[in-house]
Amino acid sequence: MQLRTFLTATAAAATLLTLGLGTAQAQAYKSEYRMSLVVGTAFPWGKGGEIWAHKVKEKTQGRINIKLYPGVSLIQGDQTREFSALRQGVIDMAVGSTINWSPQVKQLNLFSLPFLMPDYAAIDALTQGEVGKQLFATLDKAGVVPLAWGENGYRELSNSKHAVKSPADMKGLKIRVVGSPLFVDTFTALGANPTQMSWADAQPAFASGAVDGQENPMSIFTAAKLHNVNQKYLTLWGYVADPLVFVVNKEVWNSWTPADREAVRQAAIEAGKEQIAIARKGLVEPGQPLFKDIEANGVTVTRLSPQEREAFVKATRPVYAKWKAQIGADLVDKAEKAIAARKP
Ligand code: X2X
- 72 near 36, Cβ under 8 Å? yes
Domains in the chain: ranges and CATH: 31-340 (3.40.190.170)
Residue 327, pLDDT score: 98
Ligand 1 in contact with 235 (CB < 6 A)? Answer: no
295 CB contacts (<8 Å, ≥6 apart)? 301
Confirm or reject: Cβ of 279 under 6 Å from ligand 1.
no
> Ligand 1 in contact with 108 (CB < 6 A)?
no
CA distance 72 to 261: 24
Residue-by-residue pLDDT tens, the chain, 344 positions: 444 444 444 444 444 444 444 444 455 899 999 999 999 999 999 999 999 999 999 999 999 999 999 999 999 999 999 999 999 999 999 999 999 999 999 999 999 999 999 999 999 999 999 999 999 999 999 999 999 999 999 999 999 999 999 999 999 999 999 989 999 999 999 999 999 999 999 999 999 999 999 999 999 999 999 999 999 999 999 999 999 999 999 999 999 999 999 999 999 999 999 999 999 999 999 999 999 999 999 999 999 999 999 999 999 999 999 999 999 999 999 999 999 999 98
Does the CB atom of residue 211 touch ligand 1 within 6 A? no
- Quote the CA–CA distance of 113 and 216 in Å, as a whole number: 15
pLDDT value of position 23 = 44
Query: What is the pTM assigned to this prediction?
Result: 0.92
| CA trace torsion 65, 262, 124, 276 (10° rounding) | -30
Please give the pLDDT value at position 344. 86
Q: How far apart are CA 76 and CA 116, in angstroms?
A: 33
Report which ligand 1 atom has the smallest distance to the Cα of 79.
8
Cα 261 to averaged position of ligand 1 atoms, centre (Å): 29
Is the C-beta atom of 159 inside 6 A of ligand 1? no
Q: What is the pLDDT at residue 62?
A: 98
Of 140, 158, 144, 139, nearest in space to 233 by CA: 158
